[in-house]
A and B are shown apart, each in its own frame.
Chain A
């Protein structure tokens, strides 16, 4: 059976006790009304995202569920120590593979995994970003299967998204149910934008004088995450720019303002590597900033996250993460990995093909839940078709056992109903420290029994509480 985070075993679990007592006194009709109000509010505020290839519904809402996901302070401490350790290891790994490559020389990670990886950018070799920071923002996807069993499902080291939902969800809960927050001490998440800005500023190029100028680079209003881009720029109090607002002025990247060009020191970019610099990468890109890689290597701007960090969130690299953590930190990984079968290895491929109906199979470079097979939910025909794809290109896949993801109830008109969840805490990395906001984005599969929580696949979100114990 699944581990229910609210009512495991004989009764309500500790962190949910106060909430449960409050909920028992609520009227379902009133909560249903609140839920509709929240949706109207999200729509009116434009907290929407665009789905690629979906013309009819250009802008969609991510369903918001009003039952919070609650973690005790003790649970959180362990998680955040684990995330901290992992994020430091990721940075050390990136620094290494773009410079001396000790981990490859030591034979811990196979060279092919880097050499054959499209996300590995040769243009980053023999270069250290300002402050030595590669992943300024990391989102680590965690799942839970039991009281003390947390696993890392995925590391998002390039451009983790969703933090705006973490903040808006809390804001919405505060407005709808202020009484809940007076009963219980929930750790604040609202400092995130301030911390993000401070963290980015601390990573400015060493020759930057005065307070560093930070800006957010977006592909534009038609991008699926545009809301988040403008939200973060707004909350940090910095400019939201597009490629065509920028040009090179006196060796720096500068933005076109009504009063002339102004130099940018730190660019939090939400444009993918391929499109970042048409002069260096994809020559047809209209979204990027020509010459930014040259300015970067000349030491005149910080790009966050650094180009080429995607190599670390590859699912094949993921399977080596416990070794990577140990190699760079000298400690055992605090957070467990999900057992992973690399289909590039003949034994693993055979095992995967033999047990396809029990496994989750993912594309090595995939994300967003696209192109993955959930064995237990697939039909015979789907399994057969996937097996063919797997045999044709085994190195493109990894397989994992189907985890019994924990559940947290969602609110339905009929009352509470259990649904599977995951958790994405956000870590901010600056040259001095790693800062993890207490909470994160809880994604929830809105369909009964479904294990797919991705918003692009109909998943919803919840407010995530970390209690002051």
Chain B
């Protein structure tokens, strides 16, 4: 496979994943700002911070209002991380790699793009927002379904998956990091209304509010939530689950190519920091420090994959 093709597949799925995550963040932010908040500006600000775009946003807008934030995150063509830009980029990458993907995957990505071009052709009013966001998530699921159902399990598939899980791990780590203060066990706030709101937002940001209830004996506390999002390998958006998959997909590639790469070593390193751990141990170590280090490791892994598999040179 061409290095450029591997890079195109990887970035197509990073972009799709990021678009989906952004939609989810907006959804969680929208919900909290609309229903529960006493300070919506601060909630919207937190959405922007979580998507790692504070500087870019503040260079354009002075205040944090729902219409501005959603416009910036959904439609703004000058924002390379707006959903529209991400989907366009994903589709360009799909065109670039058309000879590697099935017509089902191409068709799903192309349809996603066509649909969003249509839905995001004008600013989205609050009343339409839930519908548009749901559609983004649905389209995303469609692409995923096409990938799972039609693609050969070879290196092509593995590079797609690497993009997905690297982006997802990065996203989950950032979400938890932005809200980490709400997760720190602090007896005076436990069970207070504020924590509950923050926790729910957090879980909603990763579509995990229902799964959490099923998966963690229902006890709503900081340690359980942190454990669920960081270590619980049953949760498909947890860091542990992502690390598992990064290791698996890199291993498949190494086996197929008959060569060990530094990428695989780095993925193993990330994975072992998340394995056999107790969440309290991580709290003791410092949750914020733990997450920052994870984010750095993920960034390094991304660069190493690019290098090992010659995406650019």
Contact = CB atoms under 8 A, between A and B. Distances in A.
Interface of A: 43-46, 221, 226, 230, 233-234, 239-242, 244-245, 255-260
Given A44-B114, A46-B95, A258-B310, 18 more contacts: A44-B110, A45-B107, A45-B110, A46-B110, A221-B96, A230-B95, A234-B99, A239-B5, A239-B99, A240-B99, A245-B2, A245-B4, A257-B1, A257-B2, A257-B310, A258-B257, A259-B257, A260-B310
Contact of A46 (B3, B106, B257, B313): B106
A226 B92 CA distance: 12
Interface string B63-99: 0000000000000000000000000000010011011
A43 B118 CA distance: 14
A234 B97 CA distance: 10
Interface string B15-41: 000000000000000000000000000
Nearest to A220: B96
List 6 tightest A-B contacts by C-beta distance, closest first.
Answer: A234-B99, A258-B309, A230-B98, A256-B3, A221-B95, A258-B6
A244 B4 contact: yes
A49 to B, nearest CB: 13
A245 B4 CA distance: 7
B197 to A, nearest CB: 42
A180 B97 CA distance: 35
8 contacts: A45-B103, A45-B110, A46-B98, A226-B95, A234-B98, A240-B98, A256-B313, A258-B3
B103 A242 contact: no
A260 B98 CA distance: 21
Nearest to B7: A258
Given A44-B114, A46-B110, A257-B310, A233 B4 contact: no
A406 B241 CA distance: 65
Contacts of B310: 256-258, 260
A244 B310 CA distance: 12
A128 to B, nearest CB: 31
B127 to A, nearest CB: 29
Given A221-B95, A240-B99, A44 B2 contact: no
B111 interface: yes
Nearest to A255: B2
B155 interface: yes
A230 B99 contact: yes
Nearest to A242: B4
Nearest to B92: A221
Contacts of A255: 2
Contacts of B114: 43-44
A165 B59 CA distance: 47
Nearest to A43: B114
B90 to A, nearest CB: 13
A241 B313 CA distance: 14
Given A44-B107, A46-B106, A46-B110, A256 B95 contact: no
Q: Chain B interface: which size bin?
A: 20 to 34
B96 A256 contact: no
B98 A241 contact: no
A223 to B, nearest CB: 11
Contacts of B257: 258-259
Interface centre among B92, B107, B310 (most CB of A within 10 A): B310
Contacts of A230: 95, 98-99
Nearest to A247: B313
Contact of B2 (A226, A234, A239): A239
Interface in B286-313: 309-310, 313
Contacts of B110: 44-46
Given A256-B313, A258-B257, A233 B3 contact: no
A241 B106 contact: no
B143 to A, nearest CB: 14
B3 A257 contact: yes
Nearest to A234: B99
B151 to A, nearest CB: 15
B106 A256 contact: no
Contacts of B309: 258
B115 to A, nearest CB: 11
A382 to B, nearest CB: 37
A326 to B, nearest CB: 43
Interface string B40-65: 00000000000000000000000000
Contacts of A233: 99
Given A221-B96, A230-B99, A256 B107 contact: no
A233 B1 CA distance: 13
A235 B310 CA distance: 25
Contacts of B259: 259
Contacts of A239: 2, 5, 99
Contacts of A245: 2-4
A279 to B, nearest CB: 19
A45 B108 CA distance: 10
Contacts of B4: 241-242, 244-245, 256
A117 B313 CA distance: 38
Nearest to A239: B2
Interface in B145-175: 155
Nearest to B94: A46
B162 to A, nearest CB: 12
Interface centre among B95, B155, B259 (most CB of A within 10 A): B95
A450 B5 CA distance: 43
B2 A241 contact: yes
A256 B106 CA distance: 24
B47 to A, nearest CB: 31
Contacts of B95: 46, 221, 226, 230
Contacts of B103: 45
B217 to A, nearest CB: 44
B275 to A, nearest CB: 28
A57 to B, nearest CB: 12
A256 B98 CA distance: 18
Contacts of B155: 258
A44 B105 CA distance: 11
A236 to B, nearest CB: 9
Contacts of B3: 245, 256-258
Interface centre among B4, B96, B155 (most CB of A within 10 A): B4
